[in-house]
Amino acid sequence: MSRIVVIGAGVGGLATAARTAVKGHEVTVVEQGSRVGGKLHTYRREGFAFDTGPSLFTLPAVYRDLFLKTGEPLEDCLDLQAVEPGFTYHWSDGTTAVLPGVGIGKAAEALGDALGGNAAHQWRSLMQRASDMWALTRAPVLQSPLEGLRSAARLTRSVSDIRTIAPFTTLRGLGERTFTDPRLVTLLDRYATYTGSDPRRAPAALATVPFVEQTFGAWHIGGGVGTLAPVLADRARARGVDIRLNSPVTSIALRAGAVSGVALATGEFLDADIVISDADASVLYGSLLSSDSRTTKVLRTLRRSTPSLAGFVMLLAVSGKTPNITHHNVWFPENYDTEFDEIFAKHPHEVTDPTIYACVPNDPAMRPDDEHESWFILVNAPRHSDDGTAGAMDWNTPGISQAYGKRILDLLAARGTDIRSRVLWQEISTPADLERDAGAPGGGIYGIASHGPLSTFKRPTNQSPIPGLYLVGGSAHPGGGLPLVGMGAEITAELIGRAKK
């Protein structure tokens, strides 16, 4: 059995630690921060609670499998709750649609009722296509190790498969081809942001995201989705994993070309036969490893890729009840394209008229009493850099975050939901804060964006070119978001199992 060191106690690191520990390995997780979970976190203050990262939990089957294989079932450890209704969407023309938490047929009906015309039929037909895409991509791509373009070739065995996946069609292209109503195009566009991308450059296959959401449901965890982090850490500890907080890894050591351990900022050295990195892939290859000809190609691909967009987050303690508010709420702007133009510009600035997402859980464990609400607002934002890097802006500029926060609440009021006089207190988290708190370069939410037809196949693989070094987490294959990160943890644990046989 091997000595394994996992760098980072994000959900991917914890899941892989638990999965490898049950196979009998001696596993240590080293986390630079003072808590587990990384981006996955529920923040509590004065009786209010907010999910500061994931607020929507989809495809819980991935975590059911993890919990079953490492001990007791997920439902014995967490209060998994179906969210009903799922999302309320508000378009700039004043139309509102309330979609159910689960059921493509019901979602199509709700869209038909709200938008009229052929909306119901067209949404159903898109979801049928997405279902075919999901059947083709799930096992060979999302649940298998990535083998570069060979993985792409495995997918495209017949002309009809190629037609279904439409590798050279963008998500926007698919929307425009399928829908006559531009409001449906906007709705589909939004799912590109679930991978930190621009719908005009993201592949059509991202239509699988709403398919998964509406087929397997939108879920919440009682007390906050972030409660998954400490529960997962407890599971890992119960399987013998040692989790060390406040322990930044400064470098990975090699002996005879293979990993031999990690050096910590404390000066300590941990021997390891296997190192699993849950840190961002660009940090791993760019700074934790010394320059090595075997990793040059990966670094080059990473540097050429567009990094994921970031997010501007507001946590609001609100008194009173907001009429017609649901768990997940989205207000679209008049011009969605401008949002993406501004975010992915060479010299970006905060989005002038952004899409506003608010999570207001109807969860008594997340508010002091029934006369208060906890609001988590997320707005897509350009990345952070304070050294003039192209494609990023300086979120530490004095006054910028307070002014932008005020602007967002003003915009929300202009779009019909005015909570300004009821805000008791607020906290803001910018991309600069996420960079500092979760080690996410530029505050990017998802590693690299899915831009271009082959972007899926260009992500860093779970097995690195260095013997004994593996990757997991949102910046590696198969991508970010809780479901994909969970799938990546299974792939990485499986690769380690195979290598040790």
Ligand X SMILES: Cc1cc2nc3c(=O)[nH]c(=O)nc-3n(C[C@H](O)[C@H](O)[C@H](O)COP(=O)(O)OP(=O)(O)OC[C@H]3O[C@@H](n4cnc5c(N)ncnc54)[C@H](O)[C@@H]3O)c2cc1C
Q: Which is nearer to ligand X, 38 or 100 (CB)?
A: 38
Stretch that binds ligand X, among 275-283, 336-344, 388-396, 415-423 (CB under 6 A): 275-283
Among 226, 478, 481, 486, binds ligand X (CB under 6 A): 481
Is residue 54 a contact point for ligand X (CB under 6 A)? yes
Least Cβ distance, residue 54 to ligand X (angstroms): 3
Is residue 10 a contact point for ligand X (CB under 6 A)? yes
Least Cβ distance, residue 461 to ligand X (angstroms): 15
The residue count for binding ligand X (CB under 6 A) is 37
Cα separation, 323 vs 334, whole angstroms = 23
Q: Which is nearer to ligand X, 259 or 279 (CB)?
A: 279
Is residue 248 a contact point for ligand X (CB under 6 A)? yes
Q: Which residue's CB comes closest to ligand X?
A: 10
Q: Which is nearer to ligand X, 109 or 242 (CB)?
A: 242
User: For the stretch 315-333, what's the b/e string if a residue is b when 16 or more beta carbons lie within 10 angstroms of its beta carbon?
Assistant: bbbbeeebeebbbbbbbbb
Give the relative orientation of helices 119-137 and 104-115 as an angle to the nearest 10 degrees: 150
274-277/249-255 β-pairing: unpaired
Q: DSSP for 237-263, please give it.
A: HHTT-EEESS--EEEEEEETTEEEEEE
Among 181, 278, 350, 363, binds ligand X (CB under 6 A): 278
Q: Which is nearer to ligand X, 207 or 313 (CB)?
A: 313
Least Cβ distance, residue 25 to ligand X (angstroms): 19
Among 146, 485, 487, 491, binds ligand X (CB under 6 A): 485
Is residue 96 left, alpha or beta, with left meaning phi > 0 and alpha meaning psi from -120 to 50?
Answer: beta
Among 249, 275, 377, 393, binds ligand X (CB under 6 A): 249
Q: Which is nearer to ligand X, 113 or 268 (CB)?
A: 268
Q: Which is nearer to ligand X, 100 or 439 (CB)?
A: 439
Supply angle C-alpha 479, 480, 481, rounded to 5: 135
Least Cβ distance, residue 20 to ligand X (angstroms): 15
The dihedral of CA 154, 155, 161, 163: what is its sign? Answer: negative
Cα separation, 247 vs 26, whole angstroms = 18
Q: Which is nearer to ligand X, 112 or 442 (CB)?
A: 442
As a whole number of angstroms, the longest Cα–Cα distance in the chain is: 66
Is residue 361 a contact point for ligand X (CB under 6 A)? no
Among 7, 22, 356, 381, binds ligand X (CB under 6 A): 7
Q: Which two tokens stand for residue 134?
A: 């999901």
Give the relative orientation of helices 228-238 and 11-21 as an angle to the nearest 10 degrees: 20
Among 313, 358, 392, 432, binds ligand X (CB under 6 A): 313
**16-45: which residues touch ligand X (CB under 6 A)?**
30-33, 38-40
Least Cβ distance, residue 221 to ligand X (angstroms): 11
Least Cβ distance, residue 120 to ligand X (angstroms): 26
Is residue 56 a contact point for ligand X (CB under 6 A)? yes
The dihedral of CA 277, 283, 286, 290: what is its sign? Answer: negative
3-state helix, strand, coil in the chain (%, to 5): 40, 20, 35
Is residue 480 a contact point for ligand X (CB under 6 A)? yes
Is residue 279 a contact point for ligand X (CB under 6 A)? yes
Q: Are 240 and 1 in contact (CB under 8 A)?
A: no
Q: Are 95 and 115 in contact (CB under 8 A)?
A: yes
430 to 459: interface string for ligand X, x by CB under 6 A: ----x---xxx----x--------------
Q: Which is nearer to ligand X, 124 or 235 (CB)?
A: 235
- What would the 3-class secondary structure string for 441-485 be? HHHECCCECCCCCCHHHHCCCCECCCCCEEECCCCCCCCCCHHHH
Stretch that binds ligand X, among 3-11, 160-168, 333-341, 361-369 (CB under 6 A): 3-11
Q: Which two tokens stand for residue 296?
A: 């040059």
Q: Which is nearer to ligand X, 136 or 440 (CB)?
A: 440
Cα atoms found within 13 Å of the Cα of residue 312, Cβ hemisphere only? 28
The H-or-E segment that residue 281 falls in is: helix 281-283
Cα separation, 232 vs 359, whole angstroms = 23
Least Cβ distance, residue 39 to ligand X (angstroms): 4
Stretch that binds ligand X, among 47-55, 88-96, 167-175, 176-184 (CB under 6 A): 47-55
Name the nearest CA neighbour of 463 among 8, 195, 147, 249. Answer: 147
- Residues lying near ligand X in the complex (CB under 6 A) are found at 7-13, 30-33, 38-40, 53-56, 248-249, 278-279, 283, 311, 313, 378, 434, 438-440, 445, 473-474, 480-482, 485
